[in-house]
Structure 1
């Protein structure tokens, strides 16, 4: 945030003055421009009179446009030449008041007080660009809510205890947005501490109230209204209001965050508008099928009463390793950099008694531990010092964590689970940096893909548990079935290298390929020791054709920093999938030469850009499937990756002290949903303690869990389609 540049999210000079005076009073009072403040005060007086006239009219509107003590201060758009006197007259005649860019001198008088019951104008006065007439919209708006969703948490869950959640990589930051914030751990913490306006029912994909208790969509399908639940509270006790939404948007669009994708994405919306303390209006600048969904479930809200004291740069520094107050079920307790992050459950969480949250968020404390040494993690787990373990390595699942070698499993103290869910499957493999030679040459990239011996890795290392990746959208209707199927072929690789000028005849005295006196030597970082075993296979196959690959283990933070800064040639990467693909964020050319975004390769393609431009207006899911398939075909033929493999299951070990719902994990989730769905079962905990002390066995439960497949067979995912208000 840059308070010295607040006009970036305001609509007029008058609105700028009003917002400074009421949203940032400390900064306004520090201003030397006393005359401007007096003018703003007088402007507010006249505007307030106009608004009160409008309030009386709004209270009589059909459909419950105003609810109880919900917002009643409404500021609507008008041409810049409109005056406040015209606004007052308009209100007197039943029209919508306008906001002026200039203020005529008026007699001075004390600033009127505006109570919370009257709508809290003083905390949320901001100009709005309405679709045509805000009053006409409010007259016809059809508020929606969803009382039917009861949640999928277990009704048998108990509160209490601590869950120890281990990871090998401490995140580069605990900030939920801004530079280097795109990590799995940061996203997990974000979902536990903060909230979005709405949720999605994971079965029907219908919208569900969250911070907003109801919502509405204008007839233009670009204007969205949300009414914030009056019960919503931050962890420090302050109410959640519309001003929190405004400040969040202002931060998201501040270039000083060094987060170009977030900046670009939210600038596709006009700055949100507060209609009093509870109602907020979003307006998409373009007709986009996902515009409402993004505003509803993709726009996480952060506290204005904290952020308004900071610039974006100050936020990046001050909250590098701590968290803002949140409105969610947990709050930040402590952080030891590179060691642990601790969250504490909020017994006073404002949604704790809501039925949809029954069985969720059961642990009193969540202790996120970070241990780089994977072998140490395994030993700690075997001793019971860690609660559960994700087994990513197929060999370990088949040859290490088995009853014959681990008595804790044989006796049922530790349980094995292979859980199938409907989690979107992401993409993984060796990514190429197209910005720098030699990988600016597609022939070289394809040669490397042919030298990535997945066949050998799958057979010798992975017990054939996985499927080949040949797409950016595996296990989904978006995969292009005509994509090339690249397999191990060193002869073809040599042909491609020769065509690119890397001749076998030009090997140096040590046997390495050379071109123009330059040896073909590249480096590849890896963060997990378990990946080295398949990367050494890649290393040997490259060596056979004369390419020297240097492998280097680094921390995850170092790796993501180098990739974010584009300081790499090759990168071993894995990304999660999306229920509803957003190809622009990954493949659009506008991100190719910018740091810290998902276009890590520097990929540019005019046809892909054109599809991305038309994609937002594709309200028919079949059109979107066709479009994404075309993009998939284009990017796969550019060989941005030497593709890896994927699995539709999650392999877990856990000490037998936990209760869990029958599906074990969330329908569209993975091991990260443990923190929300599991609980310490007191009876199981006592039984485990007794069995370990006596050396006796506990029952062994079924290993393979296909609960979600059995009850909700896979099908093409629907897109949320909220009702719009008829014109």
Structure 2
């Protein structure tokens, strides 16, 4: 039975979408689906044009999205400049057409067929075809990209990509999966074969340049989405440009009235507080006020009171990824579970949230995240701060002496001291609270601030003792990249704790291959319990909202947010803002004139709790 809102398209009417004649190898019993009945979430009032001015804390180490140093914060800007075959509705979770106009499932529970939009083009004007999918598979399997996770996924999880004609493909999973998960695994974005061309050096004879990593480090690919990287001033600035109002994607109703600004200018400003000053001077169009001190204290100046800058706080129901404090068990002392258990009780996130974060944030119950119904182990609770319990575990580990500085030592004279690595100056007060509270248990947290993308590179290289950071997530939790022994003690992987066990490997392997959704969820809960018992992630905090200040010329739909809105203004992307904002140039002129003349407007603060849990 077809899902509500889906239209079955018989193969016999494929000509309606201007596809080439189907290959004889294409099954003739496929039921093609599309979706044109889900609600839209943009505003028809939106207008096109203008430059959105924003910032980033650090210049990216690369513009590649695979390979060394590619897993930085700027990566999302690049990835979301492309469309996958299908996109997920941010409120209803229905699948919508993206790069593909329609899709169908094979009888084997492994294969999904896609009819690509024949009007789809790369940002350089070249058509998107099945060849780009064939190249994608070749690229991701190549050792030349130096990306073990992608090599594994596209070898062991994706069996094949089959081309039937220029615009019809099938992506074949290596194992049977239920339909929702099958789409998640096969909903892959192509790579522009014409951009890479024939490699000059190919000793591996795999069709990929042996010097791929260096050659394409700062050479952005063409994209399928509306924005491409136009200008780069290394270390200073990155500018994106819209391909134009005739972008092929606007024939899709779910893209209409979105991606409205003509240019996006991203300035590198290495300190968030300095960036705030740039914003309040009018040099940036919006500024995220997620931090409680920003919302409650620092966003109440003259420009806010005079109504030139407005504020909005919207709640969401987005899933939360793994994170908090990641304990690197490859480091001395952290390989002792009693030390790790002691750290669990000696880390006072609750006081941090109350004292520094004004209880705006919530404690994450589980180090592996939150908001994955059925997959989350709800029996796991974040431990409360308890110095006495922490001391008991530290003494079990041999740290029975207390030095003159209050920090515990063992018989070898080793201090119970670990560096906590973090990425932003604004996080210093948060980590400082953890440091002060940990002293009550004789534990020393050294503050190790490494700015921006350099911090994440440091952690990927496994140089950290303890890393204070959070990761993103999908609808289904990921485990292999974080905890399978295949990735332990290796640079450029997300195995931040280096904790492994045969039991955990077995569970993760079973989770990856399990077809039955309820069994898969049960395996997920079991995996989370093993990870919790290992005491390798101190559950941190989660932020169930988006908050921003913005100049009054920045406009949003009447229903300004969706369930998945992570940012109100952040460029584009189904996982970010959904890019429904626009710039009203007339109001911009009006506001600037008012500021010169002294005219004021009513101050505006909007709080939207539609999706508050």
Query: Please, what TM-score do these two structures have when normalized by structure 2?
Result: 0.89
Match of 1:170 in 2: 59
Give the corresponding residue for 1:445: 340
Q: Does 1:461 align with 2:349?
A: no
What does residue 293 of structure 1 align with? 183
* Residues 1:401 and 2:266 aligned together: no
Pair 1:705-2:602 in alignment: no
Q: What is the count of residue pairs matched by the alignment?
A: 584
Q: 1:276 aligns with which of 161, 165, 168?
A: 165
Which of 593, 603, 612 is equivalent to 1:690? Answer: 593
Higher share in strand: 2
| 1:638 pairs with 2:534 | yes
d(CA) in 1 for partners of 2:437, 2:209: 47
The Cα shift of 1:666 comes to: 4.0
Secondary structure of 2:249's counterpart equals coil
Q: Please, which runs of 5 or more residues in structure 2 have no aligned partner?
A: 1-9, 200-207, 571-575
SS at match of 1:245: helix
Q: Which moved more, 1:374-383 or 1:164-173?
A: 164-173
Indicate the residue corresponding to 1:155 in structure 2.
44
| Partner residue, 1:417 | 312
Deviation of 1:160 (Å): 0.4
SS of corresponding position for 2:277 = helix
Residue 551 of structure 1 aligns to a residue in which SS?
strand
Between 1:580-589 and 1:249-258, the stretch displaced more is: 580-589
Give 1 or 2: higher helix fraction. Answer: 1
Aligned ranges 1:586-625 → 2 under 5 Å: 586-616=482-512, 618=514, 621-625=517-521
Q: Which moved more, 1:486-495 or 1:242-251?
A: 486-495
Q: Which runs of 5+ in 1 are unaligned?
A: 1-60, 75-133, 715-727
Select 1:489's aligned residue among 372, 382, 386. Answer: 386
Rg larger in 1 or in 2? Answer: 1
Structure 1 residue 210: Cα displacement: 1.9
SS in 2 for 1:363: coil
Structure 2 counterparts to residues 284-433 of structure 1, below 5 A? 284-289=173-178, 292-297=182-187, 299-310=188-199, 311-347=208-244, 348-402=246-300, 406-433=301-328
**Paired residues of 1:164 and 1:368 also in contact (CA < 8 A):** yes
2:6 aligned partner: none
1:540, 1:367 → 2: CA distance? 40
Q: If the length of structure 1 is used for normalisation, what is the TM-score?
A: 0.75
Q: Matched residues in 2 for 1:622 and 1:68: separation?
A: 37
Separation (CA, whole Å) in 2 of partners of 1:541 and 1:627? 36
* CA distance 1:399–1:65, change in 2 (3 Å): closer
The answer on whether the counterparts of 1:525 and 1:571 sit within 8 Å (CA) in structure 2 is yes
Shift of 1:546: 4.3
Q: 1:218 aligns with which of 101, 106, 115?
A: 106
1:226 alignment partner, SS class: strand
Q: Pick closer, same or farther for the CA change 1:188–1:545 going to 2, 3 Å.
A: same
Structure 1: distance between partners of 2:35 and 2:407? 68
Greater mean alpha carbon deviation, residues 668-677 or residues 299-308 = 668-677
In structure 1, distance between residues paired with 2:353 and 2:62: 35
**Equivalent pair of 2:73/2:453 in contact (CA under 8 Å):** no
Q: Report the secondary structure of 1:227's partner residue.
A: strand
The CA distance in 2 between the partners of 1:383 and 1:68, in whole Å, is: 50
Provide the secondary structure at the position in 1 that maps to 2:250. Answer: coil
| Pairing 1:242–2:130 present | yes
Residue 423 (structure 2) pairs with residue 527 (structure 1): yes
1:621 to partner: Cα distance: 4.5
The 1:677/1:509 distance shift into structure 2, 3 A limit, reads closer
- Report how far residue 342 of structure 1 moved: 0.7
- Please give the root-mean-square deviation of Cα atoms over the aligned residues, in Å: 2.5
Post-superposition shift, 1:344?
0.3
In structure 2, the CA distance between the partners of 1:502 and 1:512, relative to structure 1 (3 Å rule), is: closer
Q: State the structure with bigger RCO (CA 8 A, min sep 6), 1 or 2.
A: 2
Q: 1:201 aligns with which of 81, 85, 89?
A: 89
Match status 1:436 vs 2:331: yes
